[in-house]
């Protein structure tokens, strides 16, 4: 079974100029853990929930001083200021991808090794879909039922 057999085609994507508030809305409303970032139909990066939420984490220096000195309520209030930023400020550039012709289990290994729940599917630098662990699990489950 290949990635192209189980991937989601027509994946939603954003641009580097998309406001983080829009991305957060998509993540919360549609339960996306991340979105590919494209420019002129080329995949240029990925924005994940962790990229947004990491802005609220204390710096290493602050953490070394001890959590008692960190105002967690103030950190939560900072979330509003993050919403005015753009995807290009927070995205991971040069996202890892899998090929549509890659075996599904090889893609699953790449995802597991990188602790990804979803990964862009690309032909060269062109986004052609998304693959999630749920897609893989559903396909393997369905295959096991039909083979029984």
CATH code, 16: 3.10.580.10
Sign of CA dihedral 82, 90, 125, 107: negative
- 68: tokens are 């008692």
Taking only the tens place, the pLDDT of each residue in 71-103 is: 767 777 777 888 899 999 999 998 899 999 999
Q: How many independent structural domains does the chain possess?
A: 1
Hunting for tokens 């995949």 — which residue is that?
43
The parent domain of residue 104 ranges over 3-147
State yes or no: pLDDT of 61 exceeds 80: no
Instruction: Indicate the pLDDT class of residue 147, thresholds 50, 70 and 90.
Output: confident
Q: In the chain, what percentage of residues exceed pLDDT 70?
A: 89
pTM: 0.83
Q: Would you state the pLDDT for residue 90?
A: 95
Cα–Cα nearest to 49, from 31, 34, 29, 28: 34
Q: Count Cβ atoms below 10 Å from residue 130 Cβ, excluding itself.
A: 22
Helix (H, G, I), strand (E, B) or coil at 96: coil
Taking only the tens place, the pLDDT of each residue in 9-30 is: 988 999 999 999 999 999 999 9
């Amino acid at each position: 079974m290949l990635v192209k057999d189980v991937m989601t085609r027509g994946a939603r994507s954003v641009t580097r100029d998309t406001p983080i508030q829009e991305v957060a809305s998509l993540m919360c409303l549609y339960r996306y853990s991340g979105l590919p970032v494209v420019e002129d139909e080329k995949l240029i990066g990925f924005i994940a929930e962790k990229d947004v939420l990491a802005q609220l984490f204390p710096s290493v220096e602050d953490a070394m001083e001890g959590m008692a000195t960190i105002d967690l309520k103030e950190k939560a209030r900072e979330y509003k200021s993050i919403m005015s930023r753009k995807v290009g400020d927070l995205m991971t550039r040069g996202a890892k991808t899998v090929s549509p012709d890659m075996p599904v289990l090889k893609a699953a290994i790449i995802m597991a090794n990188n602790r990804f729940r979803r990964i862009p599917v690309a032909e060269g630098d062109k986004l052609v879909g998304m693959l999630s662990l749920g897609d893989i699990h559903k396909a393997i489950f369905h295959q096991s039922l039909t083979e029984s």
